[in-house]
């Protein structure tokens, strides 16, 4: 199995042609009117070589980054320097699903593991971005590609017939739409989650799970586990607020707090920040992160803190009650504001009363 997956950057790969491989089989559709409605059959047949030669079938090659969205990303696998498989994804804002806009396998890769490997990359992206699923449409002539999708757990959910005009004009084919749903983890009961301060005996396992949670999430590799190690030695670290979560005695998450400051025109205010907040990928979606956050926020309020300021994922934190720091009159040290810069009040008017620029360790 070829394992050197690489990000195919737009500036290098935009417009790269993906020549369709030769396939011996294809799907055909048939429709029949019955008393109760219509019977639609989809069946696989051997391609008729004579029919393809007279006249030759018009088959357009796909191109990487043909989609106009600036949120499209492509990954590929090379063998001996040549691209042998690629997948390109783009978010669908309407449904929040991930769309596979290109899924390509070279002739020699059709029976290998490259396709499954890249579909796993797309699934991991959907999981990290908390998207409900993935959709992909292929041509009825791409029977082997359909097999790859089915092997990866995708289910056929629809078809679209090409009009006669489109067939004559540009050789358009009927389309098959496949769908994959991200497994939904069941919420754990509160009593199943042990939340407590970290002990020295936990350090190695906490760092291991932190690394597992952030590995390749925002960039190749990660350094959040190293941040945890350094934070423990820092004067601003707050071990009395920081907590880890365990399920059946196993470390599955944690949250690390430290002091930060908002400097106004004539005064400096102390606020809280946290990071990393992490959950073992195998346990994400079970409510562990939200449990860690809400319980430590309650403890922070009891200790007299007025607010928390963080850099984080807006889709996650906004639904828990965080707001843009612009709403509180707080900017970064450089005077900027953006979606990922957020805060929350622990007491009414908390951050709003401490307007200024934010500085953290």
Exposure string for 95-132, b = 16+ CB within 10 A, e = fewer: eebbbbbbbbbbeebbebbbbebbbebbbebbebeebe
**How many alpha carbons fall within 13 Å on the CB side of residue 237?**
17
Where b means 16+ CB within 10 Å and e means fewer, 244-279 reads bbbbeeebbbbbbbbbbbbeeeeeebebbbbbbbbb
User: Residue 87's pLDDT is what?
Assistant: 94
Q: Is 165 exposed, middle or buried (0-12, 13-18, 19+ CB in 10 A)?
A: exposed
5-181: CATH architecture:
3-Layer(aba) Sandwich (3.40)
- If we measure between CA atoms, which residue out of 344, 326, 333 comes closest to residue 264? 333
Residue 99: HSE in the Cβ half-sphere, 13 Å Cα cutoff: 16
3-class SS string, 283-325: HCCCCHHHHHHHHHHHHHHHCCCCEEEEECCHHHHHHHCCEEH
Among the listed residues 119, 131, 118, 142, the one whose alpha carbon sits nearest the alpha carbon of residue 71: 131
Q: Up-side HSE of residue 272: CA atoms within 13 Å toward CB?
A: 28
Residue 159 near residue 175, CB atoms below 8 Å:
yes
DSSP string, 32-83: EEETTEEEEEEEEEE--HHHHHTTBP--PPEETT-S--TT-EEEEEEETTEE
Residues 343, 250: contact at Cβ < 8 Å? Answer: no
Tens place of pLDDT for every residue, the chain, 361 residues? Answer: 445 789 999 999 999 888 877 777 788 877 788 888 878 777 778 876 554 543 444 455 578 998 667 889 999 998 888 898 999 999 987 788 999 999 998 875 555 688 899 999 999 898 878 788 999 999 888 888 898 999 999 999 988 877 766 665 555 788 999 999 987 778 899 999 999 999 999 999 999 999 999 887 777 788 999 999 999 999 999 999 999 999 999 999 999 999 999 998 888 889 999 999 999 988 888 899 999 999 999 999 999 998 999 999 888 898 889 999 999 999 999 999 999 999 999 988 777 777 899 999 8
On whether the 190-360 domain is CATH 1.10.3470.10, my answer is no
Q: Give Cα separations from 337 to 106, 326, 350 (angstroms).
A: 45, 6, 19
Report DSSP state, residue 233.
Answer: T
| DSSP 3-state of 142 | coil
Question: Same topology for domains 5-181 and 190-360, yes or no?
Answer: yes
User: Is residue 101 within 8 Å of residue 33, measured between CB atoms?
Assistant: no
Boundaries of every domain in the chain: 5-181, 190-360
* Rounded distance between C-alpha atoms, residue 4 and residue 2, angstroms: 6
């Amino acid at each position: 199995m070829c394992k050197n997956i690489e990000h195919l950057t737009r500036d290098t790969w935009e417009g790269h042609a993906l020549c369709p491989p030769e396939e011996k089989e294809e799907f055909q559709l048939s429709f029949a009117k019955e008393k109760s409605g219509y019977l639609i059959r989809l069946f696989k047949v051997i391609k008729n070589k004579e029919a393809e030669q007279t006249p030759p079938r018009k088959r357009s090659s796909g191109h990487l980054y043909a989609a106009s969205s600036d949120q499209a990303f492509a990954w590929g696998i090379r063998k001996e320097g040549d691209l042998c498989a690629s997948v390109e994804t783009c978010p669908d804002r309407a449904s929040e699903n991930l769309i596979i806009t290109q899924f390509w396998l070279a002739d020699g890769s059709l029976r290998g593991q490259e396709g499954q490997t890249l579909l796993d990359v797309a699934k991991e992206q959907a999981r990290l971005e908390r998207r409900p699923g993935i959709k992909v449409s292929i041509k009825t002539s791409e029977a082997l590609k359909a097999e790859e999708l089915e092997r990866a757990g995708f289910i056929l959910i629809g078809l679209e017939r090409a009009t006669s005009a489109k067939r004559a004009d540009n050789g358009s084919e009927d389309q098959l739409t496949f769908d994959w749903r991200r497994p939904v983890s069941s919420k754990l009961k509160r009593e199943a989650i042990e939340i407590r301060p970290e002990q020295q005996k936990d350090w190695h396992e906490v760092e291991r799970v932190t690394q597992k949670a952030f590995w390749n999430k925002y960039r190749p590799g990660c350094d959040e586990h190293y941040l945890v190690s350094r934070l423990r030695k820092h004067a601003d670290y707050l071990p009395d607020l920081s907590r880890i979560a365990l399920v059946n005695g196993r470390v599955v998450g944690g949250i690390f707090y430290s002091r930060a400051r908002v400097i106004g025109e004539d005064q400096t205010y102390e606020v809280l920040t946290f990071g990393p907040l992490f959950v073992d990928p195998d346990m994400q979606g079970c409510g562990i992160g939200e449990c860690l956050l809400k319980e430590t926020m309650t403890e922070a309020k009891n200790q007299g803190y007025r607010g928390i300021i963080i850099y984080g994922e807006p889709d996650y934190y906004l639904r828990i009650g965080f707001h843009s720091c612009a709403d509180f009159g707080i900017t970064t040290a450089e005077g900027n504001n953006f979606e990922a810069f957020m805060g929350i009040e622990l007491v009414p008017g908390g951050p709003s009363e401490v307007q200024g620029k934010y500085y953290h360790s």
